[in-house]
Amino acid sequence: MWRLALRTLKFRRTSFVATFLAMFLGAAIVIGCGGLMETGVRMAADPLRLDGAPVVVTGEQTYDGAALTERHRIDPKLVGEVARADGVRDAVGDVSFPATVLKDGKALTGEDTSYGHGWAGARLTPYTLAAGASPVAGGEVVLDSGLAERAGAAPGSVVEIAVNGETRRFTVSGVAGQRGDSNPDAALFFSDEQARTLAGGRIDSIGVLPENGADTAAVAATVRSVVGDRAEVLTGERRGLAELPGTLSSQRTVVILAAIFGSSVVLIVMFGVASTLGLSLQQRTREMALLRAVGSTPQQLRRMILIETAVLSVASVLLALYPGYLLGRLLFGVLTSSGVVSSAIVYHAGWMPMAVGAVVTVLAAAGATRFAGRRAARTEPVAALAESAAGTRWFSVPRLLIALFFLANGIGLAVATATVMEDGPTLASTAGPASVLFCIGLALLAPGITKAMVALLRLPVRAFSGIPGMLALRNATTANVRMAGAVAPIVLLIGIATGTLYMQATEDHVSQSSYDRNVLADYVLDSTTGGFAPAVVDRVRATPGVAAASEFVTSRGFVDTPDGRADTELRGVSAEGVRQSLDLRPVAGSLTGLRGDTVALSDKKAEEYGVGVGDRLPLRLGDGTAVRPTVVALYADNPKQQYVTLPAATLAPHTSDGLPHQILVRSGEDGPAELREALAGLAASVPGTELDDGDSLAGRNNQIQQILVAANYTIVAMIVGYAAITVVNTLVAVTRKRRAEFGLQQLTGATRRQVLGMLTVEGVLIGVIATVLGTIAAATTIVPYSMVKSDSYLPSGSIGIYLAIVGGSLVLVFGATLLPSWRGMRTPAVDSVKAA
């Protein structure tokens, strides 16, 4: 059987190339998504500025298993405790805070970031003095060599530095250069005492330097026993996370993204591989019958099919390993370039995604061999004389049960999306796979559905297409299984593409419109140098024409409820200007009381959390700090903009930079042109301040949405591309198999034009049936998602998206049928019949 199987592979190159291509691409896509999943789960980052410390102690960046979005700083007393641990040669406390050198009132770093540190931390990169001396006094600073060059500064020079929202003058005591280029940011070094004061009195991390010859793992274990649950100890490639506060919060996004699309990819690949292999076996009915006629047993034929499949699957998996790795890196590159995750995160694709890709491909092939191969092997010899009737039997109880399983699960996910799921990042986890499952269920029942729909379309087709239409209807009726094989992958293509793209369009529209309605400010002042000092908002309020001004801080935190923790967005505002800046409509209490240890939230959320005006709300802020502010106001709930509102002065110190980065400005009835000019003058007087229109906030929010859009569209394009290749594979294989049929039609009087006309009508039938079924499948994703997002059965987005998807599918259908047929009919009809 081995020799026969290999000879069969040699002489059935077209069908086996199609099967191999489906397996190869499927394995590569699964491996790519698996690499993305592994990267998200491991979430490691190589150290940059802390590269010289084999062990790093930093604040715990999670709370109750959820990632914190802001830096969780640690007590400076830990430095001494860690330094006394066994095997530790030295422990260096490190701080990092925004600090920008100014020249003529403008920031020198431009789009680059610039941070201040204590001089002790310079040895961790390491930075060494190239000129001058280390900073000792409070008014001294050491600049890195690149920054000193741009500032034209040398030891003894005086420079202006924007730090903590203020402009201060420092004397340059020295210039330092780093060995290597591990730190991409501009660095300023202050005396350790002053740096700690500027950072708020706490430290970010501790760089641990083990004694010579000490084992890093042993030292890390000792340090863990010393710090306990007060801090986290990092080694290896995870040390870089200490320099990237909030990075772990992107882990959830990456994992959800990989899980949603990865599960869909697995299903689609398994279906694509199985359908392509099943079609290949279906086309070999006559070959199987002839082998049976010369004495082969069904067991021998099954063994031959199994060997063929094993050779193809092993070869495709082995060849797909490296392309799958590259594909995963490409997907990860899209995420990093669009800002979903930091570019410092290390991409991982170990043996696990490779194994998953191999298992999925082999299981899909084995499943197809088990079902399709069994029937092919049991073909009776007499079937060789009745090939035209072969393959018309498609219905079986297992097939029906499997189809019902997929349809029921697709409908179940759609119902769960509409009735159980709430608007949030996990909504797509049920809405997205619904159309995939429903598509597969429809594809399994496609022969019966196709036959029924052809019967419904019989009259209009005969009325408008003449003889070619009659031939097409005859073929569609007698070869409904063959036509269903062409319909199924197009259903998958239309259903997945339509469902996913309109789901994203609805998300974009709802997010943009709700943010637009919530933000009432006419202008926004932005700080690019670490934030605004408290006095700046007072200067804005004093500007003629300003009706109200409010500081604006955003973060994420958690509400501690009796049932657990609830993730929530946090916004910090100023009580004096919040009513004019944000669309908050009080229903109890007053927003003017939003000062100090207070909080305001929506009436619906207050009911959910079991609090009212005067009660205390247990909160965890973005850096993990536990607070219990008093509820001073409740406002009308906006289901699309749900957040807890705190005083900006309370929330800002618990963000990584410690200051508000934005000020919202509402103009009065005076001319806005004069006000803009006045605000522009004020912005010019505050270094690093930019003036934007109020809608820039909504634009930035939409920009965040577009970040995820770029990632989503890339993965969708990959899935749709695979489905498109499956469509082309299927149609080309079917068309090439029918060359003898076309030859016989020509020998019995049909012209080449009539044959091509017949194929055109068949293509229209395939397109219409697939479009109807694909649209129904897409509705299981679109309708429930839109109901939750926008309270509408119809999605947002242009009708052009749908027309483009359907049009592209029709192009694939006609291109994959008419072109091979036209080329095949250049061969004389007699030769085409003989070649069969």
| Cα 643 off chain centre by | 23
Enclosing H/E stretch for 474:
helix 446-478
* Structure letter (DSSP) for residue 818: H
pLDDT for 389 equals 44
* Structure letter (DSSP) for residue 656: S
Enclosing H/E stretch for 406:
helix 397-419
Residues 233, 224 contacting (CB under 8 angstroms): yes
Q: CA-CA distance, 520 to 537, in Å (whole number)?
A: 17
What are the DSSP calls for 18-75, one per residue?
A: HHHHHHHHHHHHHHHHHHHHHHHHH--B--STTTT-SEEEE---EETTEEPSS---B-
Which candidate, 143, 133, 136, 129, places its Cα nearest to that of 179?
A: 129
Q: CA-CA distance, 342 to 47, in Å (whole number)?
A: 13
Find the farthest-apart pair of alpha carbons in the chain and give their distance in angstroms, rounded: 102
Two structure tokens written together for 263: 């599960």
- Prediction pTM value: 0.75
* Structure letter (DSSP) for residue 134: -
Q: CA-CA distance, 5 to 21, in Å (whole number)?
A: 19
Q: Is the dihedral of CA 825, 828, 833, 836 positive or negative?
A: negative
Q: CA-CA distance, 215 to 222, in Å (whole number)?
A: 11
Residues 629, 619 contacting (CB under 8 angstroms): yes
Q: Is residue 787 exposed (0-12), middle (13-18) or buried (19+ Cβ within 10 Å)?
A: middle
Contacts of 106 (CB under 8 A, 6+ apart): 687, 688
Q: Phi/psi at 252 (nearest 5 deg)? A: -60, -40
Which candidate, 486, 3, 453, places its Cα nearest to that of 282?
A: 486
Q: CA-CA distance, 656 to 71, in Å (whole number)?
A: 5
Alpha-carbon distance values, 451 to 457, 479, 482, 484, 775 (Å): 10, 9, 11, 9, 19
Two structure tokens written together for 560: 């501690």
Residues 454, 688 contacting (CB under 8 angstroms): no
Q: CA-CA distance, 593 to 105, in Å (whole number)?
A: 37
Reduced 3-state DSSP string for 336-380? HHCCCCCCCECCCCCHHHHHHHHHHHHHHHHHHHHHHHHHHHCCC
Three-state DSSP class for 666? strand
How many DSSP H helices and E strands does the chain contain? 25, 25
Residues 471, 754 contacting (CB under 8 angstroms): yes
Q: How does 490-519 read in b/e, with b if 16+ C-beta sit within 10 Å?
A: bbbbbbbbbbbbbbbbbbbbbbbebbbebb
Enclosing H/E stretch for 626:
strand 626-627
Which candidate, 472, 581, 478, 599, places its Cα nearest to that of 521?
A: 581
Q: Is the dihedral of CA 750, 751, 753, 756 positive or negative?
A: positive
Q: Is residue 247 exposed (0-12), middle (13-18) or buried (19+ Cβ within 10 Å)?
A: buried
Which candidate, 704, 247, 769, 727, places its Cα nearest to that of 472?
A: 769
Q: CA-CA distance, 510 to 508, in Å (whole number)?
A: 6
Beta-strand ranges (E) seen in 228-342 are 232-235
Q: CA-CA distance, 385 to 289, in Å (whole number)?
A: 9
Q: CA-CA distance, 623 to 67, in Å (whole number)?
A: 10
Two structure tokens written together for 51: 């590269």
pLDDT for 391 equals 46
Residues 66, 378 contacting (CB under 8 angstroms): no
Two structure tokens written together for 799: 């009708």
Residues 67, 248 contacting (CB under 8 angstroms): yes
Residues 628, 596 contacting (CB under 8 angstroms): no
Residue 117 CB-half CA count within 13 A = 30
Strand 564-573 to 643-647 pairing: parallel
Strand 662-667 to 523-527 pairing: antiparallel
Chunked into runs of 10 residues, the chain (836 residues) has average pLDDT values of 52 66 81 84 84 91 83 90 92 92 80 85 91 90 91 92 91 91 88 90 91 91 91 89 79 74 73 70 66 72 76 84 88 77 80 82 74 60 49 71 92 91 75 88 88 87 79 78 80 87 83 74 87 90 89 91 83 89 88 92 90 93 92 86 90 90 83 77 88 67 51 70 74 70 73 81 88 94 90 87 90 80 68 56
Beta-strand ranges (E) seen in 60-202 are 62-63, 66-67, 88-94, 97-103, 106-107, 114-118, 127-132, 140-144, 158-163, 166-178, 186-190
Quickly count: other Cβ atoms within 10 Å of residue 658's Cβ. Answer: 20
The residues facing 602 across adjacent strands are 635
Q: Phi/psi at 642 (nearest 5 deg)? A: -105, 120
Two structure tokens written together for 677: 């000019």
Q: How does 15-43 read in b/e, with b if 16+ C-beta sit within 10 Å?
A: bbebbbbbbbbbbbbbbbbbbbbbbbeeb
Residues 448, 441 contacting (CB under 8 angstroms): no
pLDDT for 474 equals 81
Two structure tokens written together for 100: 């920008």
Q: Hey, what amino acid is at 766? A: I
Q: CA-CA distance, 345 to 347, in Å (whole number)?
A: 7
Q: CA-CA distance, 185 to 109, in Å (whole number)?
A: 9
Residue 73 CB-half CA count within 13 A = 21
Q: Hey, what amino acid is at 488? A: A
The residue to which tokens 């896509």 are assigned: 29
Residues 542, 533 contacting (CB under 8 angstroms): no
Q: CA-CA distance, 543 to 683, in Å (whole number)?
A: 12
| Cα 568 off chain centre by | 20
